[in-house]
Amino acid sequence: MVPTVVRGRTFWTRIVLVLRIQPFLRLLVMSASLEAASAVAQEQRDGLLAEVTEPSPAKPGIAYYEELAKKGPQEAGNQQLLAAAYGRQGRVDDARRSARRAVELAPTVAEFHQTLGLIEEGADSLPAAEAAFRRAASLDGNVEYRLDVARVLWRLDRRPEAEATWEAIATDFVNDRNVDLALANSFHGLGRNEEALAAYERALLLSKTGVERADVLVDVARVHADRGAVNLAQEALSRARDASPADADVAYNLGVLYFRAGQYDAAIAAFDDAVKIKPDHANALNNKGVTLEKLRKLDDAATAFRAAIVVDDNNGFAHFNLGLVLFKLRRFKDAEVSFERAAVVAPELGDAKFFLGEIYFQLGDTKKALRLYKDALHSNPDDASTHRRVGDIHLQNGDLDLAIGEYWAAVDANADAPDHRAQLMRVLVARNNDGDIRRAVKLGDAGLAKHPEHLEVRTALAAAEVAARRSERARQLLEEGTRVSPQDPQAHTAYARFLLEQGKVADADASFAAAIKLDPHNAAAIAGQGDAALSQGDVVGAEKAFRSALELDPGLASARAELGYLYFKADKNDAAIGELTRAVSDDARLGRAWFYLAFAQYKAGLKDQVETSLKKAVAVQPDLAEAWLQLGKLYVQVGRQDDARKALLAAENARGGNYEEARLELERLQAP
């Protein structure tokens, strides 16, 4: 990713701050553009923090430059612009072809040879890059071209030649501040930070004004920040502020460093200082919004993003960030407007399309959502989260094969994301074709070998072992999880859940108690005690535990779903629907909540909503055999035999081929 320039100075690389908004959402961009962060991971991209930069100037799309070259095919400058546009999109062959055409049309213009050299270097064709840079340097002795040659020589491991080139430049331009800066930037780009700092010190001594000294000190801060020496970077920026107190960018960059150090109040104050000096500093306002979001001050964050948009309506990242905060506030229609604007002013933000898809997914329009997700994949074909969501839609539509294909793509794109791997494992177990369970186990073993602390993968692996009728290994895996992460109450809770499912209520209670001892406010473990009570017929004790859990964590959807189930069983159907609707709103991934809701909706006569809820249940929990069974029965009732057969087969497979009721339904369906 190419660093951008702030008033002639190269500063930080991009920053991506990931937050959990809803399941599968990722990424609040602090300023420039997305790492295929895009960071965002992460609970999906959870807490992943890169660095910060000014956004690149807005550039027209490739179509603009193609039309320009078409209108003036003999204009070398048009070909160079087109080459650069192709290069930004990673279209190396097209970029190389246009750059060569520019050189053919104007063979004596050094800049065109440099453009070709940069494209070749970006493609790791280093000998070709060297030739192009040497030609540029022979046509024009500009230091920039000579530095290009030295850099490529260094990358080619021809170190003595590179050193000689740098030494010749330093000799030819003694006491030249700009050359020292160029040398320093070149050294820093190659990771030679000590030489870079020495060159910056020479440039600092040659600086005559406060503004010049501030410029150099900003670069010094950049080197320290890239090395992780945040305190030294802050010290350099403080000196820059003393040298040039009215420099908004110094205050802005101080804010970035404070943010990276977790000093959020200081970061906000620095961003405010930048805005006082330069009221139209859109990026300071935008980054203030990100910092406020980090402090969970969502309304204040939205205000800051809107202020950034007021001074620069073309700031796509402010529109994007505003959309994310509004999404988190569940103001979907307002978020839609923000994401649509972001997609217009910053079309390179493929994640804007992803989140537009999320809005339609949340609103139940999966067809429109799927189209937007596929558009997002055109912009970023290796985005794991988008593949994951496309898989979710295919799963919701009952097509396990297509879903598995997308989940594989998600795992291939981000092998370290535990939720993608675990979902693929669960769906393989649900499909249970020849070798699927073996594949799921292999995926789980590989994931735990690399990250034994990934509890979601461990839990999915235990479920796969149960499906393979190896319950003892499943028990060992979850018990081992409590040893791998002994201070993690979630590990003890997961083990307790397994024990409860195996009917070992006393042992489960002991593990839930261990989790609560580690964290007395562990709502999930307290809710687990409610499940244990319910399994023994203690409805009063169960309801008390679920209510206690919800007092600690009102967003604990699993406890709310069980409370809704109790209302359903007690014939309090309106209350049941209320609790279950809230449960699926708080956690749309909770399959059992959707399953319970389907029954309550059926009982209330809301039969047109039952299919949707059952499809949601199996989409997010593909091993939920009971939901597949009920979906199959529903399709039988309405005469959709092919769909019924798929659902009933999925129900039987989810139980490892041992679900008698599903098998009987299939036999009835196939009877003449």
* 3 state SS for 507-566: HHHHHHHHHHHHCCCCHHHHHHHHHHHHHCCCHHHHHHHHHHHHHHCCCCHHHHHHHHHH
Q: What's the token pair of residue 302?
A: 């939205």
Cα–Cα distance, 328 to 633 (Å, whole number) = 36
Most confident listed range (39-48, 317-326, 659-668):
317-326
Q: In the prediction, which pLDDT does 21 show?
A: 21
Percent of the chain residues past pLDDT 70, beyond the cut: 90
Mean pLDDT of the chain: 83
Q: What is the pLDDT of residue 23?
A: 22
- Residue 57 pLDDT > 60: no
Residue 29's pLDDT is what?
A: 34
Q: Outline which parts of the chain fall under CATH 1.25.40.10.
A: 65-164
Confidence of residue 3 (pLDDT cuts 50, 70, 90): very low
pLDDT at 350: 66
Tens-digit pLDDT profile for residues 306-354: 999 999 998 888 999 999 999 888 888 899 899 989 888 887 776 787 8
Average the pLDDT over 163-191 and give the result. Answer: 80
Q: How far apart are CA 228 and CA 663, in angstroms?
A: 61
Query: Mean pLDDT: which of 217-226, 359-368, 549-558 is highest?
Result: 549-558
Number of neighbouring beta carbons within 10 Å of residue 381: 13
**Does an H or E element contain 16, and which?**
strand 16-17
> 214 or 300, which is more confident?
300
CA distance 25 to 19: 8
Q: Which residue has the higher pLDDT, 277 or 343?
A: 277
Cross-strand pairs, 9 = 6
- 5-14, 115-124, 436-445 — which is least confidently predicted? 5-14
What pLDDT shows up at residue 90? Answer: 78
If phi > 0 it is left, if psi is from -120 to 50 it is alpha, else beta; for residue 77 that is: alpha
CB atoms within 10 A of CB 159: 10
The arithmetic mean of pLDDT across residues 2-6, rounded, is: 25
Over range 589-603, report the average pLDDT.
Answer: 91
Q: What is the predicted pLDDT for the residue at 8?
A: 28
CA distances to 15, 292, 468, 583 from 257, in Å: 11, 15, 51, 39
Higher pLDDT, 534 or 181: 534
91 vs 34 pLDDT, higher one: 91
Q: Rounded to whole angstroms, how far apart are CA atoms 75 and 234?
A: 47
> With DSSP H G I counted as helix, E B as strand and the rest as coil, what are the percentages for the chain, rounded to 5?
70, 0, 25
Q: How confident is the model at residue 672 (pLDDT cuts 50, 70, 90)?
A: low
Could you give the percent of the chain with pLDDT greater than 90? 42
Q: How many CB atoms lie within 10 A of CB 586?
A: 18
Does residue 614 register a pLDDT over 90?
yes
Q: For 412-461, what is each residue's pLDDT tens digit?
A: 999 999 999 999 999 999 888 889 999 999 999 999 999 999 999 999 99
Q: 528-538: per-residue pLDDT in tens?
A: 999 999 999 99
- pLDDT at position 590 over 90: no
Confidence of residue 4 (pLDDT cuts 50, 70, 90): very low
Over residues 208-237, the mean pLDDT reads: 81
pLDDT at residue 27, as a whole number: 26
Which architecture characterizes domain 65-164 according to CATH? Alpha Horseshoe (1.25)
pLDDT at 473: 94
pLDDT of residue 299: 92
Q: What is the structure's pLDDT at 216?
A: 81
Alpha-carbon span 187 to 408, nearest angstrom: 41
The average pLDDT across 275-280 equals 93
Separation between Cα atoms, residue 567 and residue 647, nearest integer Å: 28
**371 pLDDT exceeds 80?**
yes
Q: Model's pTM, two decimal places?
A: 0.55
